[in-house]
Structure 1
Amino acid sequence: MRAFAEDLGVGVRTVTKWEALAADTTPRPVMQAVLDTALSRADADAKLRFELLLMEDGRAPIRGYYQGSPREWDYETWTDDLGRAAACLARQDFKFAASLVDRWLRRFDPHGLDNHGLYLHARSLVLLGDLQRDQGDIQGPLSARQTYKKAHQLFNDLDVPRRAAQVELSLAVVEEMGGRLQPAAKRYEMLADDGRLSARDRTRAQLWVGTALSKEGNNAYAVGVMDEATRRFEELEEPDDWSVAHQKLALAYRADGDLGNAVRFIGVALSNRSTESPMQRVRLDTAHAHILLSDKATSDSGVHLLTQAAATSSKYGLSHQLASIEGIRHAYEQAE
C-alpha cells in the first residue's frame, strides 16, 4: 500500500481510505485521472484482474472498456497470437496456425471494432490468405485471393498504405500461381517502383517479375531482371532472399538451355541455404531436381530428388508444389 501511494504521489492515508471504503468512495476528478493513468501503464494481466473484479462486483465496465467488444488485454493477446500463427506458417504447421487465426476472426464482429481492432482483423486476414495460398487454395469464394481482397480493403479504409501494398504483392503472387503470368508480371513491375513498400519488398517484386517472365519463356530478359535483383539483395544484406534469387536464376538459365550457369547458380543456392522450412526445402529440391533431369548423366539423381520433394509436399499439404512436381515429372517422362 505504501509503494502504491508513492507511485501515485499521494499519502498513504488516502490509499488506506480507498481500501476501507471500497465502492463507497469516489476519488476527486484529478485523482481519478491519476488512477486512470496508472491503469493505462499496467500490464495486460493486471488489467484483466481489474476488469474481472469489476465484473464480479456487478459494476459497469470503466471508460474505454466495452461489454462484448475487445479490451486492451484482448488486443495484446491477439497480437501475440498473430506472431505465433506467423511462426507456425513458417514451418507449415497449418492446423495450429489456422486455429490461432480463426479464433480471433470469429470472436469479434468487425463492424463493432475500433481502428486498432480492424487493423488486427486485417492482419489476421492476411495470415489466413497466406495459409490458403501455401496450401494451394488460390481460386474460389474461400480462396487466398478473396481473403487478401478483404484485407486490402480494410488497410485502405484504415489508411495504412504499406500494408495495403504488401497485400497487393501477395495478390500478384496468387495471379502468378494461377497461371496469369502477364498480369502478374505487370503488377510486379509497378510494385517494384512503389514507394509504399520497403526496399526489400520492392526488390522481391523485381525478382518476381523475372520469375513470371521466365515461366512465359522470356528467359533472356528474365535473367537480366533477376540478376539485378540479386545484386540489390546483396546490398541490402538479405542473405535468404539472395539465396532464393540464385535458385530462380538457375531455373531461368536451365529454361534458356544454359546448363552450365544453371548448375553454377543452383550450387550457390544449395551452399547458402538457411535454416529450412518444409516449403523452402521443397522449392529448392524441386529446382535442383529440374536441373538434374536436364542432363542424362544426372537424371537418375533428379528423379530421386523429385520423389523426395513430392513426399515432403504430401506430408505437409503443399498441394501447389505437389502439382508443380507432377508437371515436371510428366514432362520428363514424355521426353523420355
Structure 2
Amino acid sequence: MVSVRRWTGHEAGLLRQALRMSVRAYAAHLGVGIRTVSKWEKLGAATSPWPDTQAILDTALARSDAAAQARFEQFLGLSSGRRPRGTSSPTIADHETWTEDLERIVVCLDRQDFAFAATLLERWLGRAQARDLDDRGLYLYGRSLVLSGDLRRLQGTLQDLMTAKRLYSDAHDVFTELDIPRRAAQIELSLAVVTEMAGHLTPAAALYKQLTGDERLGSADRARALLWIGTALAKDGRNEFAIQVMGQAAQWFEELDEPEDWATAQQKLALAHRGVGDLTRALAYIDTARSNGRFETPLQRVQIETAHGHILLTDPATRSAGNTVLDRASDIATQYGLKHQLRSIKTVRNSKEYT
C-alpha cells in the first residue's frame, strides 16, 4: 500500500476522490468539519492538516479497500507536479472513465472474458499517445499496457507470449519514468513468467531468484517468485530441489496468511512429488490443494484439473480416471480460449510414460 509522508490538502482531497465520497460524507468519515474538508479542497498543497488529523488520514487510507487504495495510488502518482508532456491530455472525466474501465478489465481477465477485455483496452490504447499524456494519463497508459500483456499471457500462444513480452517491456519503461519502483518490479516478475512459459527455464529461474529478495516487491510477490523458482526447476526435471524450494514458499504463504497461494503451492508440490515417483504424496498434496483452494476462475479450474489428471494418469490403475479429468480440463480450456493450458494438456497426454 502506498503511504503519505506528510499530508497536505492536496493528498487529503485525492483520498476523498479515491473513496468516491462527497465532501459531507468524507468529513463524517474522518470525524472532521465540512469546512475543514472544503479548506483542503480549496488550498490544496498550500495547507496541511494538524498532526492528529494526519494520523486520522493515515488510518482512513489504511482501512480503505484495495480498489480505493489503488485509485489513491494512481491519483497520487499521477499528480506529482511534473510538467505535462503535451497539450492534448485526457480530461479528469476521461481519467475517471479510464480508471473504471481498467477495473472492469481486471474482472474480465479473472473470468477469462478476453473479448470484452480486449475491446476495453483498445478503447484507450488505440487513442492514447504516450507523448501527449500528463503523469496521471501516463500511469493509466502503463496499467493498460500491463493488462494487455496479461491478456496475451493468459491466452498463451507463442505469438501471444512474444507480444506480452513487448507490452510488459513498454510498461516497464513507463513506470520507470514515473519513478514507481513497485510497479516496475511487478512487471519484471511478469516478464519472468513469460520467459518460463516460453520454455526458457534456466533464465526464468534466475530471474525469479533475483526477485525473491527484491525489496521493491511486497512479501507475497517475493514468496510467489520463490514458488515459481520451484515450478521452473520441476519443469526442468529437478524435482527434488523443486520440492525443497516449494516447501519454503508454502511456509512463507502460511506465515503471510495467504490461503489461495498456499493451496497453489500444494498443487505444485503434488506435481513435483509425481516427478520423483512418489504417487502417495502426490495424491495427498493434490487432495489438500483441491480441498483448500477456491478455484473460482476458469484458469484456476483448468490448472487444478490438469495437475490432478496428470497424477492419476501416472498410475495404470487410475489412468482411465486421469483421462476423464483431463477431458474436463480440456473442455474448459477450449471454451475460454486458454491456449497455453490446452498445450500443456496435450503435452501431458503425449508423454512417453503413457504411450
Letter in 1 for 2:347: G
Distance 1:67 1:187 in 2: 39
Matches within 5 A, 1:23-172: 37=42, 68-139=88-159, 143-172=163-192
Alpha-carbon contact 1:210-1:223 (below 8 Å) kept:
yes
Q: How much identity, in percent, do the aligned residues show?
A: 51
Deviation at 1:140, TM superposition (A): 7.1
1:287 maps to what in 2? 307
3-state secondary structure, aligned to 1:183? helix
Q: What is the aligned partner in structure 2 of residue 314 from structure 1?
A: 334
Q: Which moved more, 1:312-321 or 1:101-110?
A: 101-110
Distance in 2 between the 1:238 and 1:311 partners?
30
Q: Distance in 2 between matches of 1:148 and 1:84?
A: 20
SS of the equivalent of 2:314 reads coil
Distance in 2 between residues matched to 1:321 and 1:111, nearest whole Å:
37
Equivalent pair of 1:138/1:145 in contact (CA under 8 Å): no
Cα distance in structure 2, aligned partners of 1:147 and 1:126 = 7
For the 8 Å contact 2:88–2:133, the answer to whether it is kept is no
Equivalent residue number for residue 222 of structure 2: 202
Cα distance in 1 for partners of 2:128, 2:224 equals 34
What secondary structure sits across from 1:217 in the alignment? coil
The letter of the residue matching 2:354 is: A
In 1, are the aligned partners of 2:161 and 2:194 still within 8 Å (CA)? no
CA deviation after TM superposition for structure 1 residue 138, in Å = 4.6
Letter matched to residue 91 of structure 1: R
Offset, 1:139: 4.0
- State yes or no: 1:188 paired with 2:208: yes
Q: Deviation per CA, 1:230-288, whole angstroms, max 9, x where unpaired? A: 01101111111010000000000001111111001000001012151000000000000
- Structure 2 contact 313–322 (Cα < 8 Å) conserved: yes
* Aligned residue number for residue 354 of structure 2: 335
Q: Does 210-219 or 131-140 show the bigger shift?
A: 131-140
Distance 1:286 1:98, change over 3 A: same
Q: Distance in 2 between matches of 1:312 and 1:295?
A: 24
Distance, in Å, in 1 between the alignment partners of 2:287 and 2:108 is 29
The offset of 1:69, in angstroms, is 2.5
**In structure 1, C-alpha distance between the alignment counterparts of 2:141 and 2:305, rounded to whole Å:** 36
Structure index of larger Rg: 1
> Hey, what does 1:237 align to over in structure 2?
257
Q: Is the 8 A contact 1:138 1:144 kept in 2?
A: no
Provide the C-alpha distance between the structure 1 equivalents of 2:305 and 2:336, rounded to a whole number of angstroms. 15
Aligned to 1:8: none
Q: Once the 2 structures are TM-superposed, how far is the Cα of residue 102 of structure 1 from its aligned partner?
A: 1.4
Secondary structure at the residue paired with 1:164?
helix
Unaligned runs of 5+ in 1: 1-33, 40-63
Structure 2 counterpart of 1:17: none
Distance 1:321 1:90 in 2: 15
Contact 1:176 1:212 in 2 (8 A): yes
Deviation at 1:157, TM superposition (A): 1.1
- After superposition, the C-alpha distances for 1:84-115 in whole angstroms (9 at most, x for unaligned) are 10010001000111111111112221110011
Partner residue, 1:22: none
Q: Distance in 2 between matches of 1:175 and 1:141?
A: 8
Of 272, 276, 281 in structure 2, the residue corresponding to residue 261 of structure 1 is 281
Normalised TM-score (structure 1): 0.79
Change beyond 3 A, Cα 1:172–1:67: closer
Structure-2 change in CA distance of 1:195 and 1:67 (3 Å): closer
Q: Work out the CA distance in 2 between the residues paired with 1:122 and 1:327.
A: 35
Partner residue of 2:317?
297
SS of the aligned residue for 2:264 comes to: helix
Which amino acid letter does the alignment assign opposite residue 37 of structure 1?
A: K
Which amino acid counterpart does residue 263 of structure 1 have in structure 2?
A: L
1:330 is displaced (CA, Å) by 1.1
Structure 2 unaligned residues grouped into runs of 5+: 1-38, 45-83
Alignment RMSD, CA only? 2.3
Count matched residues. Answer: 279
For 1:187, give the aligned amino acid.
Answer: L
